[in-house]
Amino acid sequence: GAVVSQHPSWVICKSGTSVKIECRSLDFQATTMFWYRQFPKQSLMLMATSNEGSKATYEQGVEKDKFLINHASLTLSTLTVTSAHPEDSSFYICSAAGTSGPTDTQYFGPGTRLTVL
Amino acid sequence: DAKTTQPTSMDCAEGRAANLPCNHSTISGNEYVYWYRQIHSQGPQYIIHGLKNNETNEMASLIITEDRKSSTLILPHATLRDTAVYYCIVRVGAAGNKLTFGGGTRVLVKP
């Protein structure tokens, strides 16, 4: 149980284009989903938190107009990187937490590697 | 959330127990200790969590000191596939509460 998937697993795009990444909780309902970014040899950094049906909360320094997050259902959240540039190249990872217990453990997807040329 | 301190790296022998320490001296009464690991180029994998009692599951054991200021993750029989970065994170338990990742411990299991 507690499986989270991401699609695509990797993507290469040209500078100036937009890229959409999907995150799905396959066997549980995720009331909250999180998006992280990880640069090489660094730790994960939280970008935003989203709750189903409401606007995402972005961490300080993360541009909400550039990284659009939609959490339309209890099993799906999407991250759209708009007008991507080479500096946006990174490993993007989502996680999902449900309401299965008092601690609501977060489970992570496998990640999406974005390369912007 | 309280901060944690972990060794930067450690080696351990295949087949032996691996003991990973974590200090969280400013932990609050309602904060849980979570352990995740990240194998190269993959998303983090949940291992175990606890509040104050010791916990065990199919992957590992978690030993939390009585004062809750430190904990140890034990991998009972390390295999080469346990080579990963291990993160100890302290967090108030609730779905909306974020995880803050530090540098973790880079564990290398050697044959």
CA dihedral B66, B85, B47, A69 (to 10 degrees): 110
Chain A partners of B42 at a C-beta cutoff of 8 Å?
110-111
A115 neighbors A11 (Cβ within 8 angstroms): yes
Task: Indicate the pLDDT class of residue A48, thresholds 50, 70 and 90.
Answer: very high
Contact at CB, A46 and B99, closer than 8 angstroms: yes
pLDDT in the model for residue B1: 62
pLDDT tens for B13-62 read: 999 999 999 999 999 988 999 999 999 989 999 999 999 999 999 999 99
Q: pLDDT-based confidence at B107, cuts 50/70/90?
A: very high
Question: A33 is written with which tokens?
Answer: 């989903």
Asked if B41 and A99 come within 8 Å (Cβ–Cβ), the reply is: no
Q: To the nearest whole number, what is the mean pLDDT of chain A?
A: 92
Q: Which CA distances in Å does B64 have to A109, B11, B71? A: 28, 22, 4
CA distance linking residue B46 with residue A51, whole number of Å = 21
Query: What do you get for the CA distance between the two ends of chain B, in Å?
Result: 37
**Spatial CA neighbour of A78 closest among A99, A104, A109, A105:** A109
Look at B96 and A99 and tell me if their CB atoms are within 8 Å.
Answer: no
Q: Which residues of A fall within a CB distance of 8 Å from B99?
A: 34, 46, 95, 106
Closest B-chain CA to A4: B43
Cβ contact A32–B95 (<8 Å): yes
Which of A49, A51, A109 faces B43 most closely, judged by CB atoms? A109
Give the burial string for B3-32 (b: 16+ CB within 10 Å, else e): ebebeeebebeeeeebebebbbeebeeebb
Query: Distance between CA B25 and CA B23 in Å, rounded?
Result: 6
